[in-house]
């Protein structure tokens, strides 16, 4: 599987590209968002038929800026198996 592309906008959930939603017929999707809190948090959720079934904050990063696609994918794999 290639690494999905995650998009980050403040206050709005963004559906990622390449999360295999086509394989599941759109049953499962992954979305990301930057919280509107201070300090901002990077949020990730997985939805089943548009209803969230898992949601978490990305852990603190060792670099400035948004999480990389690889970091998000690794965290999804560690949390969801």
| In-domain check, residue 35 | yes
Look up the domain containing 55 and give its range: 14-80
Instruction: Give the model confidence (pLDDT) of 25-71 as tens digits.
Output: 778 889 999 999 998 999 999 998 889 999 999 999 999 999 999 99
Record the tokens describing residue 53, joined without a space: 């079934």
**Spatial separation of the C-alpha atoms in residues 3 and 19, rounded to whole Å:** 8
Does 31 map to a domain? yes
Radius of gyration for the alpha carbons in the chain, expressed in angstroms and rounded: 12
What is the pLDDT, as a whole number, of residue 81? 79
What are residue 51's phi and psi, to 5 degrees? -105, 130
1 domain residue, yes or no: no
CA dist list (Å): 67 to 22, 46, 50:
24, 17, 23
Task: Check: CB of residue 19 under 8 Å from CB of residue 6.
Answer: no
And the tokens for 26? Answer: 């759109």
In a domain, 5, yes or no: no
């Amino acid at each position: 599987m290639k690494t999905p592309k995650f998009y980050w906008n403040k206050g709005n959930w963004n559906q990622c590209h390449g999360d295999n939603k086509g394989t599941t017929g759109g049953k499962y999707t992954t979305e990301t968002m930057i919280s509107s809190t201070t300090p901002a948090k990077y949020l990730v959720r997985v939805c089943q038929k548009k209803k969230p079934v898992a949601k978490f904050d990305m852990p603190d990063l060792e670099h400035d800026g948004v999480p990389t696609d690889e970091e998000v994918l690794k965290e999804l794999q560690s949390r969801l198996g």
